[in-house]
Structure 1
């Protein structure tokens, strides 16, 4: 029996009707989706006062992880930095996926944007994606002077799988004691491998952007035959016993998506642990709506609200230059 579920915003629904949708990603479809390139960087940077460069960094296991750095041409010294983790279920996508979202913060706030190409499942499962992202964050913090960024104002952010990785990296940084993170932004985050919420059951059995069945496929690709007690919270942040001591957090999702309830639960548990989180659940939003259709009215509102929140956070976070160039 199909559960009753919230409908999709009319404008978004009309746009969505023109897209090919599937009930479940299969290995064959995954191979096809991986052939679809991200938007060309030259196109994204056209009209922006920004420069772009690429580099690779080593990981402890000997791999080389690509990073891309976007710098505003009008950035002030000690600029804030957004460290971006892309979506794609940890099974597809690259460091340029959804990059237009943080590039809006480069435009609006003069933020330097660094994005990481973490290794994907199923070829690289378990903790590999989150550890790759953590190594990239360490590199950013260690090279703050070279990047011209303020180490006291590093924001970690991501969408979908990237939102889950953002939560995992933030937990790692808290537990390992470095680096300091000023805030985290979790956009429709993929937080819970258990797939047990009401919203995960509501968006099953019918084609969509990201269904319960596709979510199960992605988590299985990452985790293989690991049992719950073999899955650390850094991989599946919703299972964390302790959400205290986290930086101020922004979480948003749509009412019409699989990740709605795990997003609400994560925010609720941050509050219960004494932390600060701002939660937005957009009525009629499906998974990734503002990334797919950024000019729709609901998408415009969601993006503007995030930017307004980040502006407030950065304005209330003292720049480290005021304490001698490093956080006090």
Structure 2
């Protein structure tokens, strides 16, 4: 990313329904550990993140590396992450759920989970969030994931995990992708860059 002068690695993880849980998550884990082992990479200054389903995988990856790996991300950057298979649309905002609605979400989770244990596979249902990387979560008020993202941020905070929550009034799911040059989208991106810069700077502090 030119703005911060950092290397960005995008994971071409395998997709459900052909490849349900845990394959996509395992692909992300393999990519992270591969990156951390590269001699030109400082493994103490790695952030993980994603948007929507990618954000959900990043949240799941933060839990996985906490339990399995010596890699400790400095930040999990979660843009309107898909983190709870129990999502229910609320009548007062359902009409504004552009691009992704309750029906799409139910189908996607069924493809991803199959018969997996949600307490293991779904970040919002994981029994303990203690010890995961600090988080930044951004979501719009008209996003289907608004309520579950707020609830997850509250759980992270309660678990002692530093979490910054940015709520974008009137924004729908993927708004920054649909209108990347709009002021609200530029501001959303700038917030992510600022949080990344802060996290990387903190990781090098004596």
TM range (shorter): over 0.9
Q: Corresponding residue for 2:90?
A: 201
Q: Name the counterpart of 1:210.
A: 100
Aligned-pair distance for 1:296? Answer: 0.8
Q: CA RMSD in A?
A: 1.8
1:251-299: CA deviations, max 9, x gaps? 0000001000111111111110111000001001100111221101111
Residue ranges of structure 1 left out of the alignment (5+ in a row): 1-105, 323-328
- Aligned equivalent of 2:18: 123
User: Aligned match of 1:137 in 26, 32, 36?
Assistant: 32
Which runs of 5 or more residues in structure 2 are unaligned? none
TM-score by length of 1: 0.60
What TM-score does the superposition give when structure 2 sets the normalisation length? 0.93
**Taking structure 1 as reference, are residues 237 and 172 closer, same or farther at Cα in structure 2, changes over 3 Å only?**
same
Higher helix share: 2
Cα distance between partner residues in 2 of 1:206 and 1:259: 12
Contact 1:164 1:191 (8 Å CA) reproduced = yes
TM-fit CA distance, 1:194: 1.4
- The yes-or-no answer on 1:220 pairing with 2:110 is yes
**Aligned-partner Cα distance in 1 for 2:8–2:104:** 30
Equivalent position to 2:50, from 158, 174, 196: 158
Alignment-derived partner of residue 258 in structure 1: 144
Could you say which structure has the higher strand fraction?
1
Give the superposition deviation at 1:205: 7.0
Counterpart-to-counterpart distance in 2, 1:209 and 1:193: 17
Secondary structure at the counterpart of residue 115 of structure 1: coil
Shift of 1:181: 1.1
Q: Distance in 1 between matches of 2:8 and 2:157?
A: 28
Please list every run of at least 4 consecutive aligned residues from structure 1 whose deviation after the TM superposition is greater than 4 angstroms.
203-207
Match of 1:185 among 56, 77, 80: 77
CA contact (8 A) 2:97 2:173 kept: no
Q: How far is 1:177 from its partner? A: 3.4
Q: Report the structure number with the largest CA radius of gyration.
A: 1
Q: Which residue does 1:169 correspond to in 2?
A: 61
> Residues 44-63 of structure 1 correspond to what in structure 2 (within 5 A)?
none
Within 2, Cα distance between the matches of 1:133 and 1:149? 17
Match of 1:307 in 2: 193
How many residue pairs are counted as aligned between the two chains? 205
Report the Cα offset of residue 122 of structure 1: 0.7
